[in-house]
Amino acid sequence: MSNAVRRTRATLAVAALWTVLLAGVAGCTGEAGSAGSAGGPAAEGDKPRAPGDTIRITPADGATAVPADGRLEVALAGGRLERVKVTRIEDAQPAEVPGAVSPNGLTWRPKPGTRLALAAKYSVDAVALDVHGRRSARHTTFTTVVPDHRFIGYFTPENRSTVGVGMIISFDFNRGIRNRAAVERAIRVTSVPPVEVVGHWFDAERLDFRPREYWKPGTKVTVDMALRDVEGAAGVYGVQRKTVRFTVGRSQVSVVDAREQTMEVRRDGRLLTTLPVTTGGKKTRTYNGRMVVSEMHDVTRMNGATVGFTDDDGKSEYDIKDVPHAMRLTTSGTFLHGNYWADPAVFGARNVSHGCIGLRDEKGGSQDSPAGWFFDRTLVGDVVEVVNSPDRTVDPWNGLSGWNMGWEAWKAGSALR
């Protein structure tokens, strides 16, 4: 036998051996595959998909400037959604978006009518089972559009304050409100004991709330402001979500008789004392009507030029840098305050002020003076009523003077009626 023939036979033998070995390997693979069909590796077409391929979330992960009413959806091509949670996460107390999975288990959508908050960040967490029962999960985030124009309401009284029975809840908005009903509806005033409280618009920037009569002493009042995302005017949205609570203290109503130059101070209906006062002179009378203390200052500056009291040369008729025990009654500048510069003989005898109500005091303010005594017993929200002045009644919009408007007229100023 030649060498060539021997090499050919050897090659064939090796080839045959490899064929047997490969056949054996193939047989083992087939058995493993059969066993795997009950839980082993899947065929190429059944490979598990990445969570992003299995669970499709709209808006996309990291999306910004998402419209508040834009599309929000979690969807599957097959299998079923096990759970979905969409949460506003920028607040101290995260708020979950209400929604439901469809009956076929393939989609989740928010509850009809749901509107997302503006300028807010949301997270989406979804867990799904594919057609083979394998679980996958996905987490994404997105942020909603930040409006170019916003409005806020500057309000009184302060949170956790104790106020007088004449307190009126007042909002001054930094932008004109056109959708008044939507804004008024978003401010809810409740009290214990309960009483009807109604809003009144004086103009596009001013909204006040009060009951029919003065609050009862001891009343607990809650003001819920849900103004965030409320469209106050075209393209102008609110930003406030806040709750304010205050308590009504004892009843104190003081009546100033401009003709007699006296002030009767009544606490819970009982006369505490009668104090001598001076009110507006012949050219600068004091308003008649019910006014409410809105600010209190141990000392303040009063310059006549700020309220239109100037001489022919444009100089202020007065500029007193240290007016003691000053209590504001109107926006236009009416105060009840201590007066140390007038002759003590004018109090209870003559009206010489520029429209304010003056009580005798000492320079620097004395706690023992009539002004100091009254100041120490006054709360923001206390009522001061002026009678028998030759001037007209104060306008309801001037300060917290809404008590000078009848109840039916007050209710007519609500955007909800």
pLDDT digits (tens, 9 = 90+) for 372-401: 999 999 999 999 999 999 999 999 999 999
3.40.50.720, 1.10.3210.10, 2.60.40.3780, 2.115.10.20: which CATH number matches 49-144?
2.60.40.3780
Q: Could you read off the pLDDT of 36-71 as tens digits, one per residue?
A: 333 333 333 445 555 556 899 999 999 999 998 999
Fold of 149-249: Immunoglobulin-like (2.60.40)
Name which CATH class applies to 252-397. mainly beta
CB 188 within 8 A of CB 223: yes
CA 415 to chain CA centroid, Å, is 19
Q: How confident is the model at residue 30 (pLDDT cuts 50, 70, 90)?
A: very low
Whether residue 356 lies in the annotated active site: yes
pLDDT, position 193: 98
Bridge-based pairing state of the strands 270-278 and 357-360:
antiparallel
Write phi, then psi, for 375 (nearest 5 degrees): -60, -45
Written as six digits, the tokens of 165 are 């029975």
Q: For 247-264, what is the mean pLDDT?
A: 98
Q: For 188-199, what is the mean pLDDT?
A: 98
The span from the CA of 63 to the CA of 76, in Å, is: 20
Q: How confident is the model at residue 2 (pLDDT cuts 50, 70, 90)?
A: very low
Exposure on the CB side of residue 408, measured as CA atoms within 13 A:
0
pLDDT, position 79: 95
Written as six digits, the tokens of 328 are 């504001």
Q: Report the share of the chain in percent with pLDDT over 90.
A: 75
pLDDT, position 90: 66
State the pTM of this model. Answer: 0.73
Exposure on the CB side of residue 112, measured as CA atoms within 13 A:
1
pLDDT, position 93: 60
Fold equal for 149-249 and 252-397: no
Q: Please report, for the chain, the start and end positions of each structural domain, with discontinuous segments joined by +.
A: 49-144, 149-249, 252-397
Average model confidence (pLDDT) across the chain: 87
Higher pLDDT, 24 or 291: 291
The span from the CA of 201 to the CA of 155, in Å, is: 14
Sign of CA dihedral 377, 383, 389, 391: positive
Higher pLDDT, 113 or 17: 113
The span from the CA of 140 to the CA of 257, in Å, is: 69
CA 288 to chain CA centroid, Å, is 35
Q: For 302-322, what is the mean pLDDT?
A: 75
Q: Could you read off the pLDDT of 275-302 as tens digits, one per residue?
A: 999 999 998 999 999 999 999 999 998 8
Position 222 pLDDT exceeds 70: yes
Q: For 301-313, what is the mean pLDDT?
A: 73
Gyration radius from the chain CA atoms: 39
Give the active site residue among 200, 325, 354, 356.
356
Q: Could you read off the pLDDT of 320-356 as tens digits, one per residue?
A: 889 999 999 999 999 999 999 999 999 999 999 989 9
The span from the CA of 229 to the CA of 408, in Å, is: 31
Q: How confident is the model at residue 207 (pLDDT cuts 50, 70, 90)?
A: very high
Give the active site residue among 200, 325, 337, 354.
337
Q: How confident is the model at residue 311 (pLDDT cuts 50, 70, 90)?
A: confident
Q: How confident is the model at residue 24 (pLDDT cuts 50, 70, 90)?
A: very low
The span from the CA of 376 to the CA of 371, in Å, is: 9
Per the listing, tokens 């320079």 go with 363
- Find residue 292's DSSP bridge partners: 383
Q: For 6-12, what is the mean pLDDT?
A: 41
Written as six digits, the tokens of 239 are 């930003």
Q: For 70-89, what is the mean pLDDT?
A: 95
Task: Write the DSSP symbol of residue 9.
Answer: H
